[in-house]
């Protein structure tokens, strides 16, 4: 007799962004012909530059000839891409061996799957509010022991180290959803805590390219000792426009150790997990990834990142002009707005949609401390962003 994984029943009925899509569709059906402007999900919109496109095309072309065709590749990723990523870290004076890098089809899957190499009894610490994947993946794995690290106006939306011992600590910086960015000193406190307690930090750096302040760390490995206690998950989605192409990577350092593991063990466990459950990233996507890491590729990708950050600036300026309290959006593509008039986040979602026809993401969808806040995404075509802002300024009654 088959039985379901009843941990699914412990999750909200729908994933946050599916719920938003559902509510938006209901509004669209009731209001035919109304243009809905989407600043909800962080989905890229701008075309990929020609250098990276040439790389992707090269990947396709290679499949057309017997001499260059390839089928399954290494589950860990093309060795050229692992090498290129290792060299890319070197530019920031970070030494990561290619064998410590696992190429994947994106950071979302890796951030959901990484917990599988840890004991189901491990206590996890997550931020509140949080990117839902970290929490939901642990609940599905049967972990109920969750420590919430509150991120509020008071602490600048970056939490203090846990008061008690925890085993796995998830940190995302630049942060989704609040747009806050951890300083080196803040990350150092977590690294010191993790080393002391033999905890592991799972650091999501998917938005690293949005940091323009040179003092802010783009990788946890900028912090001394982090290789002993941190896994870094990263992505080509938000900096190379690969949200649909799908490509990411995870660093599991050889030096990483926890309570019952020796040097190299966690790296070999992730290798075992990936070789068992994953057949490697697309060879076409990996050629694109390689092209994006060339100096011209990096320049072209950064140009698009700067474009989104210009959107972020416009959003901030407009909302501030309206007298709203706005956070984030300075070294991050998300704007975290304080909901006016003491409304709930979902009330504001409905109000923004019905009055201005703009879709955003309710802060409470990311956790209880997100209540009273609202996330707007700077990913979007300039024309749509401007249309949305004009409509908000003209039609939103606050
Ligand atoms: C978001 O809007 O939070 C992100 O686009 C979701 C993701 O990257 O999976």
Question: Count of domains in the chain?
Answer: 2
pTM: 0.97
CATH number for the domain that contains residue 306: 3.90.1150.10
Residues contacting residue 63 through CB under 8 Å, at least 6 positions apart: 69, 70, 283, 284
How much distance in Å is there from the Cα of 45 to the middle of ligand 1? 13
Smallest CA-to-CA distance from 160 within 175, 176, 168, 171 is with 171
Structural domain including 172 reads 50-294
| Inside any domain, residue 19 | yes
Evaluate: CB of 21 within 6 angstroms of ligand 1.
no
Whether 67 and 177 share a structural domain: yes
- Joined together, the tokens standing for residue 186 give 């803040």
> Last residue of a domain, which of 248, 279, 294?
294
Mean pLDDT of the chain: 97
Return d(Cα 203, Cα 225) in angstroms, integer: 14
Whether 105 and 250 share a structural domain: yes
Question: Would you state the pLDDT for residue 14?
Answer: 83
Whether 87 and 30 share a structural domain: no
Evaluate: CB of 42 within 6 angstroms of ligand 1.
yes
CATH number for the domain that contains residue 243: 3.40.640.10
Whether 330 and 181 share a structural domain: no
How much distance in Å is there from the Cα of 130 to the middle of ligand 1? 11
| Inside any domain, residue 2 | no
Whether 86 and 126 share a structural domain: yes
| Inside any domain, residue 1 | no
Whether 281 and 318 share a structural domain: no
SS3 361: strand
CA 328 → CA 20, 148, 162, 211, distances in Å? 22, 21, 23, 11
Q: Sign of torsion, CA 90 213 327 181?
A: positive
**Ligand 1 atom 5: the closest Cα is on which residue?**
42
Whether 232 and 277 share a structural domain: yes
Whether 264 and 329 share a structural domain: no
SS3 174: coil
> Last residue of a domain, which of 294, 314, 344?
294
Q: Which of 131, 135, 206, 246 to mutate to test the pocket of ligand 1 (most atoms within 8 A of CB)?
A: 131
Evaluate: CB of 82 within 6 angstroms of ligand 1.
no
Query: H/E element holding 103?
Result: strand 101-104
How many residues are given for the chain? Answer: 398
DSSP single-letter state for residue 180 = -
Q: Which of 42, 244, 360 to mutate to test the pocket of ligand 1 (most atoms within 8 A of CB)?
A: 42
Question: Would you state the pLDDT for residue 13?
Answer: 80
Whether 104 and 179 share a structural domain: yes
> Last residue of a domain, which of 264, 279, 294?
294
Atom of ligand 1 nearest to the CA of 131: 3
Whether 102 and 30 share a structural domain: no
Tens digits of pLDDT across the chain (398 residues):
999 999 999 998 888 999 999 999 999 999 999 999 999 999 999 999 999 999 999 999 999 999 999 999 999 999 999 999 999 999 999 999 999 999 999 999 999 999 999 999 999 999 999 999 999 999 999 999 999 999 999 999 999 999 999 999 999 999 999 999 999 999 999 999 999 999 999 999 999 999 999 999 999 999 999 999 999 999 999 999 999 999 999 999 999 999 999 999 999 999 999 999 999 999 999 999 999 999 999 999 999 999 999 999 999 999 999 999 999 999 999 999 999 988 999 999 999 999 999 999 999 999 999 999 999 999 999 999 999 999 999 999 98
Whether 178 and 223 share a structural domain: yes
Q: Which residue has the tokens 């806050």?
A: 180
């Amino acid at each position: 007799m088959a039985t379901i994984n009843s941990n699914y029943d412990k999750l909200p009925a729908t994933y946050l962004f599916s719920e938003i899509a559902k509510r938006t569709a209901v509004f669209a059906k009731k209001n035919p012909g109304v243009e809905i402007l989407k600043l909800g999900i962080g989905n890229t919109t701008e075309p990929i530059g020609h250098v990276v496109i040439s790389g992707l095309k090269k990947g396709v072309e290679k499949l057309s000839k017997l001499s260059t065709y390839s089928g399954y590749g290494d589950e860990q990723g093309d060795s050229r891409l692992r090498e290129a990523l290792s060299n890319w870290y070197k530019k920031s004076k970070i030494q990561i061996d290619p064998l410590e890098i696992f190429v994947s089809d994106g950071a979302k899957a890796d951030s959901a799957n990484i917990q599988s190499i840890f004991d189901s009894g491990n206590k996890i610490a997550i931020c509140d509010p949080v990117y839902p994947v970290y929490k939901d993946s642990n609940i599905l794995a049967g972990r109920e022991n969750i420590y919430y690290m509150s991120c509020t106006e008071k602490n600048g939306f970056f939490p203090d180290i846990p008061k008690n011992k925890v085993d796995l600590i998830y940190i995302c910086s630049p942060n989704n959803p609040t747009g806050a960015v951890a300083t080196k000193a803040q990350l150092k406190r977590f690294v010191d805590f993790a080393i002391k307690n033999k905890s592991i930090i799972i650091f999501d750096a998917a938005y690293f390219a949005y940091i323009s302040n040179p003092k802010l760390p783009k990788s946890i490995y900028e912090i001394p000792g982090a290789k002993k206690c941190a896994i870094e998950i990263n992505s080509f989605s938000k900096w190379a426009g690969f949200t649909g192409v799908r490509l990411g990577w995870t660093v599991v350092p050889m030096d990483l150790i926890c309570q019952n593991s020796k040097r190299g063990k966690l790296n070999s466990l992730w290798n075992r997990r990936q070789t068992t459950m994953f057949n490697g990233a697309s060879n076409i996507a990996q050629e694109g990834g390689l092209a994006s890491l060339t100096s011209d590729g990096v320049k072209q990708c950064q140009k698009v990142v700067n474009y989104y950050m210009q959107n972020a600036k416009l959003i901030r300026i407009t909302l501030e002009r309206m007298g709203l309290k706005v956070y984030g959006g300075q070294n991050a593509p998300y704007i975290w707005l304080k909901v006016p008039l003491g409304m709930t986040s979902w009330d504001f979602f409905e109000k923004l949609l019905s009055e201005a026809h703009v879709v955003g993401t309710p802060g409470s969808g990311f956790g209880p401390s997100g209540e009273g806040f609202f996330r707007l995404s700077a990913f979007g075509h300039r024309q749509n962003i401007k249309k949305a802002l004009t409509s908000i300024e003209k039609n939103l009654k606050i």
